[in-house]
């Protein structure tokens, strides 16, 4: 458990260092995600890597535990926003309406694009 968490933190730490050091336009944890993915893939290829958190269900179990409570993790930032709702007083209704319409449009356009692209792709595949 501790070793698995350490591995996750280590990936994030390297990600943050890479982002700051190289001035990449990506959040550090996203680089950490890529690193952990590469480690997991490399483990299947090279047996000596499969030890500590990378064996059994180590890092997998810890990650599933974190992701099961993803909703909890966004609460503190959300509470900060509740305290700033007065920012909305001036143009509040207009902004709420704009965001709501934009959300619906974005969801529908994205889902439609995904489905159309995936259907075109399967059709162009040789039978």
Partner 1 sequence: MSENPFALWVYLSQSPLLWLTVTLLTYAIADAVSLATHRHPLANPVLHSMWIIGAFLLLTGTSYTTYFGGAQFVHFLLGPATVALAVPLYENRKVVVAAIVPMLVALVVGSVTAIVSVVLLAEAFGLPRGVILSPAPKSVTAGVAMGISESLHADPSLTAVAVVLTGIMAAIIVTPLMNRAGITDFRARGFAVGIAAHGIGTARAFQVDAMAGVFAGIAMSLNALVTSLLVPLAVTLLVR
Which 79-108 positions form the footprint of partner 1 (CB under 8 A)? 79-85, 87-88, 91, 94-108
Q: In angstroms, give the least distance from the CB of 21 to partner 1.
A: 17
Q: Does residue 1 touch partner 1 according to CB under 8 A?
A: no
N-term to C-term CA, the chain? 47
Residues 52-81 that bind partner 1 (CB under 8 A): 59-60, 62-64, 66-68, 70-81
Find the binder of partner 1 among 2, 3, 5, 53 (CB under 8 A): 5
Neighbours of 96 (CB within 10 A): 11
Q: Are 28 and 19 in contact (CB under 8 A)?
A: yes
- Within the chain, how many helices (H) and strands (E) appear? 6, 0
Distance, CA of 50 to CA of 65 (rounded, Å)? 21
Min CB(61)–partner 1 separation in Å: 9
By CB under 8 A, tell whether 17 contacts partner 1: no
Residue 127 touches partner 1, criterion: CB under 8 A = no
């Amino acid at each position: 458990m501790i070793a698995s968490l350490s591995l996750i933190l280590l990936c994030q730490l390297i990600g943050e260092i890479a982002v700051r050091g190289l001035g990449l336009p990506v959040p550090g944890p996203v680089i950490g995600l890529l690193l952990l993915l590469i480690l997991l893939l490399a483990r299947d290829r090279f047996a000596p890597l499969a030890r500590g958190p990378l064996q059994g269900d180590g890092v997998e179990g810890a990650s599933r535990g974190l992701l099961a409570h993803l909703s909890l993790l966004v609460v503190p930032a959300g509470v900060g926003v509740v305290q700033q709702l007065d920012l909305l007083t001036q143009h509040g209704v207009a902004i709420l309406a704009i965001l709501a319409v934009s959300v619906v449009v974005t969801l529908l356009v994205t889902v439609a694009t995904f489905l159309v692209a995936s259907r075109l792709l399967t059709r162009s595949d040789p039978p």
